[in-house]
Chains A and B, each alone.
Chain A
Amino acid sequence: MKFVLPLCIFLILSAFLAAGLRLDPQHVPSPLIGKPAPYFELTKLHEPGQTFTPEDMLGKVWLLNVWASWCVSCRVEHALLTALSRASVVPIYGLAYKDGRESSLAFLQSFGDPYVLSIEDPDGRVGIDYGVYGVPETYLIDKAGVIRFKQIGPLTIDVVQETIVPMVARLRR
């Protein structure tokens, strides 16, 4: 019987390897999915005297897009965000991450402003709470203020059509 043991171990190992082929080791799930969006209170980009907190958005489904004028993929993503905003699928709020007010405003002026409202996080502290490790990142937050989806890196047409649009429709119900 003991001579069959190596075969059994190998079969179990192969089952795991076969399962491993269907997994993507590069994919890192966010621990924030299903958790309430971390609280913050940040200055609005266009009205420096006023602040914005996620609590203002309770009862609405919205997107929080983390971007920066220094980030090249944000420029790539910008056209898609503009289209998404024009189609009024879901309100998009922008968080200017680790950036100066002037350069953020200049960016929006020259490329267009897809955001309902922009806020700024110049020292990146809120970014730490949200686990931002690559700009751009986008969070879909539901009526109860819970993060439902996170995209690391630029949004793509596939992600918008296959994930965000159906999720927004479901969350609005």
Chain B
Amino acid sequence: MTAEIGHFASILALSMAVAQAVAGMFGAARGIQSWIHVARRAAQAQFILLALAFCCLAHAFVVNDFSVLNVAGHSHSRLPVPYRFAATWGSHEGSLLLWTLILGLWTAAVTWFSRSLPADMLGRALGVLGGISTGFLLFMLLTSNPFLRLVPAPAEGLDLNPLLQDLAMILHPPLLYMGYVGFSVAFALAIAALLGNRLDAAWARWSRPWTTLAWTFLTCGIALGSFWAYYELGWGGWWFWDPVENASFIPWLVGTALIHSLAVTDKRGAFKSWTVLLAIAAFSLSLLGAFLVRSGVLTSVHTFATDPKRGVFLLVFLAIIVGGSLLLYAARAATATPGGSFKAISRESLLLTNNVLFTVAAASVLLGTLYPLFVDALSDAKLSVGPPYFNAVFVAIMAPAMFLLGVGPVARWKQASLPDLAVRLRWAFAVSACVSLAVPMALGGWRPLVSLGLLLAVWIVTTATVSLWETMTTGGRHRLLSAVKSRSLGYYGMHLAHVGAAVSIVGITLVTGYQSERDLRMDVGDDVNLGGYAFTFRGVTDVTGPNYLAARANIDVSSGGRLLGTLHPEKRLYGASANTMTESAIDMGPLRHLYVSLGEPLDGASWRVQIQHKPFVGWIWAGALLMAVGGGLAVFDRRYVRSTRQQPSTTQESSGRPASAGLPGAHP
């Protein structure tokens, strides 16, 4: 019964989505409050129904109901329970249900935290979100229904891909989808603002916490995915420029640009048409990502089994949503009034330059990702674009962006002076230059790219220190506490996120510059030295897991004659799918990882073993975590929290902000 209940609940959710879209749009257009209220209730009902549908599918997975086709195809009775639950989103159909559930959650959140939104904005935003939800639910019900039965039911399932049998599978897809789908709120608010002629500072203010929160989730999701690939794929790479990785990274880059552009629109009323375009682009690129993963136009390790019908449906959907919103943009963006003016050297212009750099970076990653498709469509030739392209282009675009990142937060709005900036930042630059020269020497040889990376990272940290120092020293020492309190959570969140970027840069730079590895044959008792550590092979024992058999190696790690511990890399054979998997073992220290993976058995008791010394690699994800925490702090900035509790008029209250043009006056 549960599958039928789930199926029925998702059909009801579709009807709620349609009601939400229609009532929201017409209610806003005609100024009928009760209709907008209907849209709110429909959105909440939709969320409850989708949660019910999701629970039904999850239940079928957990109790091994193999009469459900999706369960039979992606689970197994010997699969441990947490993985059975995660298998709910391990297939195309199930992950689509998760996508719609998360869209429902974001929509419901908009209805809960929207007291400061004018009724017509809320109505239109709910209308747009309802339209998106209608499209996805139709897609799921018509082409990818996860609730289909399989009669007669097989006695056993085909098992979940062993690569996905990992704790990260439980968190990675939900986090990533929270990010992707979260950009839909900024998108919906942008469309609502365009439709209602409300492209103003208040619109940017409403969009900021939603965008930052979505960005925070996306940051966590991408970082976790990268960490997962690092330890699961078994050879120590942490970013592959795979089309699907890029599909999540492009919206992240545009989302980063959007956060900064929204800040300018909120504080200074400038860049309105640019900000609204970024808001449309961030979500459109998320949709494009969904299309690339689910249509089969690109090959990737992530793609789901494909069906041409799905690709056509998604492309038409993409064309309606993105084409429609860009058409609206073309018609309405020109009506946005110019914001506060600014000079060539000012925080606005620095943020605009950074914005352009991030957008160009996103565009070049998109170009590299789609280039094989372009070439194939035009000339029937096959080629692939690999890491050399992405690394060269990405580093070249990001380096100036990271340099400006240090200057932006200390520059004044409207007009800054270069001599003044130079004086305030001279120590920061001196320290950065010294560190970037000294540290590579100490670590094992000067390399230009390592120096550049360290220069940028230290520059970001030292300039943030200058900014914090200036905050604390304004008004004398006895006012320290009040000076610290005078700054908003958003200010501290910003600096934390920037320092996070610096930490990631250190990790990327040092691991790329100084990692070392050995790939060798080891007999019992053999030892090998790498990066100042000795690795001794103690042989292999057989282990039986819940749904696999494994050969587990024992490799002692010692340093200076002292035993640090034993690593146990495994080679697993999963019974149900007959897949072998390499399970690496990593000793994670703050300054280095020791990464060991087991290759194939050779003659006798010897094995092929791969050993890697990866200095500072953990900093990559630690930095991403700091960025996410910074984003989280900014979301809870009291300016937003207060503005959700007060009436809409408060959005113009703060002093020093230019009265934004385009005040809501003409709305019905």
From A12-20, A53-61, A150-158, give the one contacting chain B: A12-20
- Which positions 1-20 of chain A face chain B at CB distance < 8 Å? 3-4, 6-7, 10-11, 13-14, 16-20
Q: Could you say which residues of chain B place their CB within 8 Å of the CB of A28?
A: 382
Decide if A10 touches B323 in the complex (CB within 8 Å): yes
| Contact (A25, B297) CB under 8 Å given A20-B373, A20-B377 | yes
Q: Complex Cα distance A7/B291, Å?
A: 18
Decide if B372 touches A25 in the complex (CB within 8 Å): yes
- For the complex, is B322 an interface residue (Cβ under 8 Å from A)? yes
Q: Could you say which residues of chain B place their CB within 8 Å of the CB of A11?
A: 323
Decide if A26 touches B322 in the complex (CB within 8 Å): no
Decide if A6 touches B377 in the complex (CB within 8 Å): no
- For the complex, is A87 an interface residue (Cβ under 8 Å from B)? no
- For the complex, is B564 an interface residue (Cβ under 8 Å from A)? no
**In whole Å, how far is B38's beta carbon from the nearest beta carbon of chain A?**
32
Q: Could you say which residues of chain A place their CB within 8 Å of the CB of B373?
A: 16-17, 19-20, 23, 25
Decide if A26 touches B299 in the complex (CB within 8 Å): yes
Partner of B376 from A3, A14, A25 at Cβ < 8 Å:
A25
Partner of A25 from B299, B308, B312, B326 at Cβ < 8 Å:
B299
Q: Could you say which residues of chain A place their CB within 8 Å of the CB of B322?
A: 10
- For the complex, is B277 an interface residue (Cβ under 8 Å from A)? yes
- For the complex, is A29 an interface residue (Cβ under 8 Å from B)? yes
- For the complex, is A116 an interface residue (Cβ under 8 Å from B)? no
Q: Could you say which residues of chain A place their CB within 8 Å of the CB of B297?
A: 17, 20-21, 23, 25
| Contact (A21, B311) CB under 8 Å given A3-B329, A3-B333, A16-B370 | yes
Q: Could you say which residues of chain B place their CB within 8 Å of the CB of A4?
A: 330
Q: Complex Cα distance A119/B5, Å?
A: 63
- Which positions 273-326 of chain B face chain A at CB distance < 8 Å? 273, 277, 280-281, 284, 291, 295-299, 308, 311-312, 315, 318-319, 322-323, 326
* Closest residue of B by beta carbon distance from A13: B370
Q: Could you say which residues of chain A place their CB within 8 Å of the CB of B273?
A: 3
| Contact (A25, B296) CB under 8 Å given A3-B333, A16-B377, A20-B373 | yes
Q: Could you say which residues of chain A place their CB within 8 Å of the CB of B315?
A: 14, 17-18, 21
Decide if A10 touches B326 in the complex (CB within 8 Å): yes
| Contact (A21, B295) CB under 8 Å given A7-B330, A10-B326, A14-B315 | yes
Partner of A14 from B311, B318, B327, B374 at Cβ < 8 Å:
B318
**In whole Å, how far is B250's beta carbon from the nearest beta carbon of chain A?**
13
Q: Complex Cα distance A20/B280, Å?
A: 24
Q: Could you say which residues of chain A place their CB within 8 Å of the CB of B329?
A: 3, 6-7
Q: Complex Cα distance A14/B316, Å?
A: 9
Interface string of A7-49 (1 = CB under 8 A from B): 1001101101111110101111100000000000000000000
The number of chain A residues touching the other chain, given as a range, is 20 to 34
- For the complex, is B653 an interface residue (Cβ under 8 Å from A)? no
- For the complex, is B380 an interface residue (Cβ under 8 Å from A)? yes
Q: For chains A and B in complex, what number of residue pairs have CB atoms within 8 angstroms?
A: 69
Q: Complex Cα distance A162/B326, Å?
A: 46
* Closest residue of A by beta carbon distance from B331: A3
Partner of A23 from B277, B330, B370, B377 at Cβ < 8 Å:
B377
Q: Could you say which residues of chain B place their CB within 8 Å of the CB of A25?
A: 296-299, 372-373, 376
Q: Could you say which residues of chain A place their CB within 8 Å of the CB of B312?
A: 21
Q: Could you say which residues of chain A place their CB within 8 Å of the CB of B326?
A: 6-7, 10
- For the complex, is B666 an interface residue (Cβ under 8 Å from A)? no
Q: Complex Cα distance A17/B369, Å?
A: 12
**In whole Å, how far is A120's beta carbon from the nearest beta carbon of chain B?**
27
* Closest residue of B by beta carbon distance from A25: B299
Decide if B370 touches A7 in the complex (CB within 8 Å): no
Q: Could you say which residues of chain B place their CB within 8 Å of the CB of A16?
A: 370, 373-374, 377
- Which positions 527-583 of chain B face chain A at CB distance < 8 Å? none
* Closest residue of A by beta carbon distance from B303: A25
| Contact (A7, B323) CB under 8 Å given A17-B315, A25-B376 | yes
Q: Could you say which residues of chain A place their CB within 8 Å of the CB of B377?
A: 16, 19-20, 23
Q: Complex Cα distance A16/B369, Å?
A: 13
Q: Could you say which residues of chain B place their CB within 8 Å of the CB of A10?
A: 284, 322-323, 326
**In whole Å, how far is A134's beta carbon from the nearest beta carbon of chain B?**
16
- Which positions 453-490 of chain B face chain A at CB distance < 8 Å? none
**In whole Å, how far is A92's beta carbon from the nearest beta carbon of chain B?**
29
**In whole Å, how far is B317's beta carbon from the nearest beta carbon of chain A?**
11
Decide if B330 touches A3 in the complex (CB within 8 Å): yes
Partner of B319 from A14, A26, A27 at Cβ < 8 Å:
A14
| Contact (A7, B299) CB under 8 Å given A16-B377, A17-B291, A23-B376 | no
Q: Could you say which of B299, B311, B373 has the most chain A C-beta atoms within 10 Å of its C-beta? A: B373
Q: Complex Cα distance A18/B373, Å?
A: 10
Q: Could you say which residues of chain A place their CB within 8 Å of the CB of B330?
A: 3-4, 6-7
* Closest residue of B by beta carbon distance from A14: B319
- For the complex, is B334 an interface residue (Cβ under 8 Å from A)? yes
Q: Complex Cα distance A7/B332, Å?
A: 13
| Contact (A14, B333) CB under 8 Å given A19-B377, A20-B373, A23-B373 | no
Q: Could you say which residues of chain A place their CB within 8 Å of the CB of B280?
A: 6
* Closest residue of A by beta carbon distance from B311: A21
* Closest residue of B by beta carbon distance from A20: B297
**In whole Å, how far is B377's beta carbon from the nearest beta carbon of chain A?**
4
**In whole Å, how far is B11's beta carbon from the nearest beta carbon of chain A?**
28
Q: Could you say which residues of chain B place their CB within 8 Å of the CB of A21?
A: 295-297, 308, 311-312, 315
* Closest residue of A by beta carbon distance from B323: A10
* Closest residue of B by beta carbon distance from A6: B326
Interface string of B328-344 (1 = CB under 8 A from A): 01100110000000000
* Closest residue of B by beta carbon distance from A4: B330
Q: Could you say which residues of chain A place their CB within 8 Å of the CB of B374?
A: 16
Q: Could you say which residues of chain A place their CB within 8 Å of the CB of B277?
A: 6
Q: Complex Cα distance A29/B373, Å?
A: 15
Q: Complex Cα distance A14/B291, Å?
A: 11
Q: Complex Cα distance A24/B477, Å?
A: 68
Q: Complex Cα distance A14/B370, Å?
A: 12
Q: Complex Cα distance A12/B281, Å?
A: 15
- Which positions 84-127 of chain A face chain B at CB distance < 8 Å? none
| Contact (A29, B333) CB under 8 Å given A6-B326, A16-B373 | no
**In whole Å, how far is A152's beta carbon from the nearest beta carbon of chain B?**
13
- Which positions 106-153 of chain B face chain A at CB distance < 8 Å? none
**In whole Å, how far is A17's beta carbon from the nearest beta carbon of chain B?**
6
- Which positions 48-92 of chain A face chain B at CB distance < 8 Å? none
Q: Could you say which residues of chain A place their CB within 8 Å of the CB of B323?
A: 7, 10-11, 14
Decide if B334 touches A3 in the complex (CB within 8 Å): yes
**In whole Å, how far is B356's beta carbon from the nearest beta carbon of chain A?**
14
Q: Complex Cα distance A125/B480, Å?
A: 77
User: Can you list 11 A-B pairs with a CB-CB distance of less than 8 A?
Assistant: A3-B333, A4-B330, A7-B323, A11-B323, A16-B370, A16-B373, A17-B291, A19-B377, A20-B373, A25-B298, A25-B376
Q: What 9 A-B pairs have minimum CB-CB distances, sorted nearest first?
A: A20-B297, A7-B326, A19-B377, A3-B333, A4-B330, A25-B299, A20-B373, A21-B311, A3-B330
Using a CB–CB cutoff of 8 Å, the interface residues on chain A facing chain B are 3-4, 6-7, 10-11, 13-14, 16-21, 23, 25-29
Q: A7-B330, A16-B374, A20-B376 are in contact. List 11 more A-B contacts (CB 8 A).
A: A3-B330, A6-B281, A6-B330, A7-B323, A7-B327, A10-B284, A10-B323, A14-B319, A17-B295, A19-B377, A23-B376
